[in-house]
Amino acid sequence: MPPGKEKRDMEILKLEHLAWDLPDGAGIIKDIDLSLESGKLIVVTGPNGGGKTTLAKLIAGIETPSSGRLFFEGEEITGLDVSERAKRGIAYAFQQPVRFKGLTVRDLLELASGRALDDAHLCDLLGKVGLCANEYVDRELNASLSGGESKRIEIASVLARRAKLSIFDEPEAGIDLWSFARLVETFQEVRRQKAGTLLIISHQERILSIADEIVVIADGVVRSAGPREELLPTLLADEKSPRCPLGKESARI
């Protein structure tokens, strides 16, 4: 921790007893306590159906918690909707990119950045996800784009926001190996430049291996959380069934 900094100043996000239930009462997120430190690259991993995407949506304001509270930079945001959270600095990249008829790549990136972008900026943004701006800026975000292209543009739209907290839900899905390698570099660059906190949901070892911290979520609870050096060897030791500490714990990372 930098000298003179209180621990709470470093905390960008705090979840207190967060829970989310299906209408039939089944718990998807169960009483999660979690604290994320600013400027870190945090990877959330765990088995399919464990609640990772739901947790990300609760943070972004896309879903409303059944109970519990969220704090962003010390301010409670539980009652804020998705637009208000976005304005405060939370960005979210969808796992399945949204298609629009009539909206171009340029339109989306300009909406995301909140200003008109010149060709150099567009080129820089799309280059971060392995796309050439000349070929894409004027294309519509419709079905003419492949799944991988749409996904990379979705990620670029979040990078364009330069948000305090950027959430990426399985950014590797549908992306070719070369673009994925470029994306990993981009995540590392964001961290190096201290350009925001990254919360990445991923199963990819390549992503896990660049994490500062890892959070393992299964059955709606935090199974384990801590520095990559501590958790990754354990996770890799049993790829088929990640060996996680049993029971819920409150995690500060």
107 belongs to the binding site for another protein (CB under 8 A): yes
Query: Other CB atoms closer than 10 Å to residue 37's CB: what's the count?
Result: 17
Taking CB under 8 A as the criterion, the residue among 10, 19, 80, 82 binding another protein is 82
**Is 60 or 117 the residue whose CB approaches another protein more closely?**
60
**91 interacts with another protein by CB under 8 A:** yes
Per-residue x/- marks for another protein, 115-154, CB under 8 A? ----------------------------------------
Q: Which is nearer to another protein, 91 or 244 (CB)?
A: 91
Q: Does residue number 10 form part of the binding site for another protein (CB under 8 A)?
A: no
Smallest distance, another protein to C-beta of residue 55, A: 16
DSSP state of 82: H
Helices 147-161 & 105-113, crossing angle to 10 degrees? 20
Candidate list 59, 60, 77, 133; residue touching another protein; CB under 8 A: 60
Q: Which helix (H) or strand (E) holds 87?
A: helix 82-88
Nearest to 68 by CA among 4, 123, 127, 16: 16
d(CA 216, CA 249): 11
State in angstroms the smallest separation of the CB of 8 from another protein: 26
- Contact window for another protein (CB under 8 A) among 29-37, 48-56, 78-86, 202-210: 78-86
Q: Which is nearer to another protein, 138 or 238 (CB)?
A: 138
- Shortest spacing between CB 24 and another protein, in angstroms: 22
d(CA 195, CA 198): 9
Q: Tell me the backbone φ, ψ of residue 16, rounded to 5 degrees.
A: -120, 115
Does residue 173 bind another protein (CB under 8 A)?
no
Quote the CA–CA distance of 90 and 83 in Å, as a whole number: 9
Position 231 contacts another protein (CB under 8 A): no
Residue 161, interface with another protein (CB under 8 A)?
A: yes
Q: Does residue 136 contact residue 105 with C-beta atoms inside 8 Å?
A: yes
Rounded Cα distance, 210 and 137, in Å: 30
> Which residues lie below 8 Å from residue 193, measured CB to CB, with a gap of 6+?
none
SS3 state at 48:
coil
Question: Footprint of another protein on this chain (CB under 8 A)?
Answer: 60, 62, 81-83, 86-87, 91-92, 94, 98, 100-104, 107, 111-112, 114, 157, 161
